[in-house]
Amino acid sequence: MPNITLSGVAKSYGGGDHAVKNLDLTVPDGAFMCLLGPSGCGKTTTLRMIAGLEQPSAGTIAVGDRVLDSVERGLYVPPEKRGMGLVFQNYALWPHLSVRENVEFGLRMRKVPGPERRARAEAALRMVHVDAAMDRYPSQLSGGQQQRVALARMLAINPTVLLLDEPLSNLDARLRLEMRAELKRIHEESGATIVFVTHDQLEALTMATDVAVMNEGELQQLAAPMEMYARPANRFVAEFVGSPPMAIIDVGSSRTGLAGSLLRSVEARAARCVPAAVGIRPEALRLGAPPGSAWREEAVVEAVLPAGSSWTVRLRVLDTELYALSYTPVEAAPGEVLTCWTDQMHLFGADGARISSWDRTEVGA
């Protein structure tokens, strides 16, 4: 199964501002790609263009050698001829059809003969673990089961590409967690290429093989989830991916306060790195005795917030409030002075881009 390639793709609705700008994106064969970004960043528009529900204003969309859209060549393949399955946030099932009939419906439309239709519907329902409820009606199922039936309806068609637009957004927290694991399993079992739209960074990190972060119609970074977490390409990605978010301290040429302290530490290690901002993830801000070369400062404990398996600590470090996230118990009283330290800083330049030469100084530091 070939890659999906978007080259120079743009979309503006009715000649207005561009919802998607000059997008170059390759979805590798068999990938589980999440399009991630805040509301209005162009994720859904991108998915709808891949599906053929919207036509690009510029650029080319292809699956392998097969061009599906080319504005230049006036080429456009309609959705039903693209061989892709779509599941949207509102996954309406037919209320008057049983679960089995709902799943068989798409196959009936495609004129798949009876016995094969039944076998494929049952196999798809087994895959999503709702085969026991095959003869019930949608109103007799939980939200999560209905969601799975909608997925089974798509899987039965054996799409090589599955396009999902926030399909878990109507579910409660427990079901979302369950469905994330299910989707991952289904992806592995079916071998389908999945493109999944979400604004939930945790959803993207937990499920995707590749994450494409978008903002204001532009691709900010395309990377494997843990790579993106470890090395966000710019300030936007750094702040968007991770919860609680990374603290980003503007340093400029400051010689005072936390900014000055961080800057001196950077200069001591890599004099040629000139950051405009320094980022520290809460879990990278550690309490206690630092190793030799790590940046350190005295921190005044403002509050300790235990959450069962983790402890969030609000600290005042010189002139700035920072949060530390610890996975071992923190027993400190407000007003107590501790040492905080980190050996994992993220440096960003004046244009907001990551200073990657700094990462090389950290390796082996």
Query: What is the binding site for ligand ATP (CB under 6 A)?
Result: 13, 19, 37, 39-45, 199
Q: How far is the CB of 246 from ligand ATP (least distance, A)?
A: 22
Radius of gyration of the chain (CA): 25
Between residues 41 and 127, which has the closer beta carbon with respect to ligand ATP?
41
Between residues 41 and 63, which has the closer beta carbon with respect to ligand ATP?
41
The DSSP code sequence of 225-250 is HHHHHHS-SBHHHHHHSSSSPPEEEE
Between residues 104 and 166, which has the closer beta carbon with respect to ligand ATP?
166
Between residues 160 and 215, which has the closer beta carbon with respect to ligand ATP?
215
Q: How far is the CB of 279 from ligand ATP (least distance, A)?
A: 24
Q: Of 292, 248, 239, which Cα lies nearest the Cα of 269?
A: 292
Q: Of 53, 123, 118, which Cα lies nearest the Cα of 88?
A: 53
- Residue 316: both structure tokens together: 């005042």
Between residues 13 and 94, which has the closer beta carbon with respect to ligand ATP?
13
Q: How far is the CB of 7 from ligand ATP (least distance, A)?
A: 19
State the burial class of residue 139 (Cβ atoms within 10 Å of its Cβ: 0-12, 13-18, 19+): exposed
Residues 6+ apart with CB under 8 A from 197: 34, 35, 43, 44, 46, 47, 164, 165, 166
Q: How far is the CB of 46 from ligand ATP (least distance, A)?
A: 7
Q: How far is the CB of 23 from ligand ATP (least distance, A)?
A: 11
Q: Of 225, 173, 222, 212, which Cα lies nearest the Cα of 37?
A: 212
